[in-house]
Amino acid sequence: MPESATARVHEQVGLSVELGHETPLELDCGISLGPFTLAYQTYGTLNAERSNAVLLCHALTGDQFVVGPHPVTGKPGWWELMVGPGRPFDTDRYFVICSNALGGCMGTTGPKEINPETGRPWGLDFPVITIRDMVKAQAMLLDHLGIEQLFCISGGSMGGMQALQWVASYPERCYTAVPIACAAKHSAQNIALNEVGRQAIMADPEWREGRYQELGTNPAGGLAVARMAAHISYLSEPALQRKFGRTLQDRSNVTYGFDADFQVESYLRHQGQSFVERFDANSYLYITRAIDYFDLAADYEGVLANAFRGAETRFCVISFTSDWLYPTPENRAIVRALAAVAANVSFVEVVSDKGHDAFLLDEPDMFETLRGFLSGAAARRGLGGP
């Protein structure tokens, strides 16, 4: 792997590279960003033909640490079950790359980082970014790594949106694409949910118009509420019922107060609390906004099929029966658009009661589907077995 002089190993966040020195990143909002930093991790080895690279795109609150231990939390990576030797994204076979999304807070340029023009954290001076901007930044990373074509572009949720955008923007660079549990546009309900999260953050007096870093405050309360609200949308009613029901938390009776009487409350509070230790409130605003703005068809005369016209990419779309954030009909709309241009597409709806988060969990049908799809494509691409 070619390492240019600008590549460096950050003591905490692994690999990162400064991009956009000569040609800045032209953002959708009209601002030119450059140079900027992209933090990333790689797993496995790039082959001599440079044909076995897999780019995984993380979801809203994910990061480049696909496989753990995570440098901040010490926990396993978000796709530990999917990536590694013998896993569907087999690191004995593929060279797996994941970068922290533009606007993120794990080393990539985002509102938390220092604005070189002012010497202060960007905060709300950071330009509003889009899914397409994130993808453009990733394409610059691939140029830096000397990878012309990806064997596979994949991700779940916001990561799946990026996978779709990748094929639309750079069809010739995507041999296969696996968008999982996602949609070609963000629905009104999902924009509404994101807005609740953003309002929770901005209503926190410690948010200070986004300048909390300089002023030494921390809108952890607002960010935790945002996470709690969002987390409900990642689960499903049956899963919540199965996991918690109406079980009380370490007590035999309700307390007639507002303590966390129920286990489900305690669980959500814990989700909120652990989230604020690793995530930046302004990043949350920016990335949810990027997701809200995503409407792939809008860039193609309102016809989603046009986004994929002429693409030779082989697709595998996966959805989950109990996902109400990006339900199967949204995933099927992608499949229909692909069929309309006679693209090469497989589509599997996995039966699961675990809701949207199923894509991160132990779902054997998802693993088997991916294994079969990737093996078939790898044979066609001339990638040998492990």
Partner 1 sequence: MNAGSGRTSARPDHRLIAELVEPGSRLLDIGCGDGALLELLAREKSVDGRGIEISQEGVNASVRRGLSVIQGDADTDLADYPEAAFDYVVLSQTLPAIRDPRGVLLELLRIGRIAIVSIPNFGHWRNRLHLLTRGRMPAPRGSGEPWYATPQIRPCTIKDFVMLCRELGIAIDRRTQVDSRGRVRRFSGTGRFANLFGEQAVFVLSARSSRTPASGTKRG
Buried b (16+ CB within 10 A) or exposed e, 22-61: eeebebbeeeebbebbbbbbbbbebeeeebbbbbbbbbbb
Which one of 112, 227, 314, 356 is in contact with partner 1 (CB under 8 A)? 314
d(CA 21, CA 45): 27
Which one of 94, 346, 357, 363 is in contact with partner 1 (CB under 8 A)? 346
- The answer to whether 2 touches 8, Cβ cutoff 8 Å, is no
Q: Nearest distance from residue 315's CB to partner 1, in Å?
A: 8
Is 377 among the residues that bind partner 1 (CB under 8 A)? yes
Rounded to the nearest 10 degrees, what angle do helices 131-145 and 281-293 cross at?
100
Binding segment for partner 1 (CB under 8 A), chosen from 9-17, 212-220, 265-273, 309-317, is 309-317
d(CA 126, CA 24): 15
Is 297 among the residues that bind partner 1 (CB under 8 A)? no
Which one of 34, 211, 339, 353 is in contact with partner 1 (CB under 8 A)? 339
Q: Nearest distance from residue 348's CB to partner 1, in Å?
A: 6
Give, for 155, the enclosing helix (H) or strand (E). strand 150-156
Is 336 among the residues that bind partner 1 (CB under 8 A)? yes
d(CA 138, CA 129): 13
Is 381 among the residues that bind partner 1 (CB under 8 A)? no
Q: Nearest distance from residue 300's CB to partner 1, in Å?
A: 16
Paired strand residues for 194: none
Q: Nearest distance from residue 327's CB to partner 1, in Å?
A: 14
Backbone angles phi, psi at 143, to 5 degrees: -60, -45
Q: Nearest distance from residue 54's CB to partner 1, in Å?
A: 17
d(CA 365, CA 352): 9
Which CB sits closer to partner 1, 109 or 346?
346
Is 303 among the residues that bind partner 1 (CB under 8 A)? no
Catalytic residues: 157, 323, 356
Is 214 among the residues that bind partner 1 (CB under 8 A)? no
Q: Which residues contact 295 (CB under 8 A, 6 or more apart)?
A: 184, 185, 186
Residues that bind partner 1 (CB under 8 A): 314, 316-317, 335-336, 339-342, 344-349, 351, 365, 368-369, 371-373, 375-377, 379
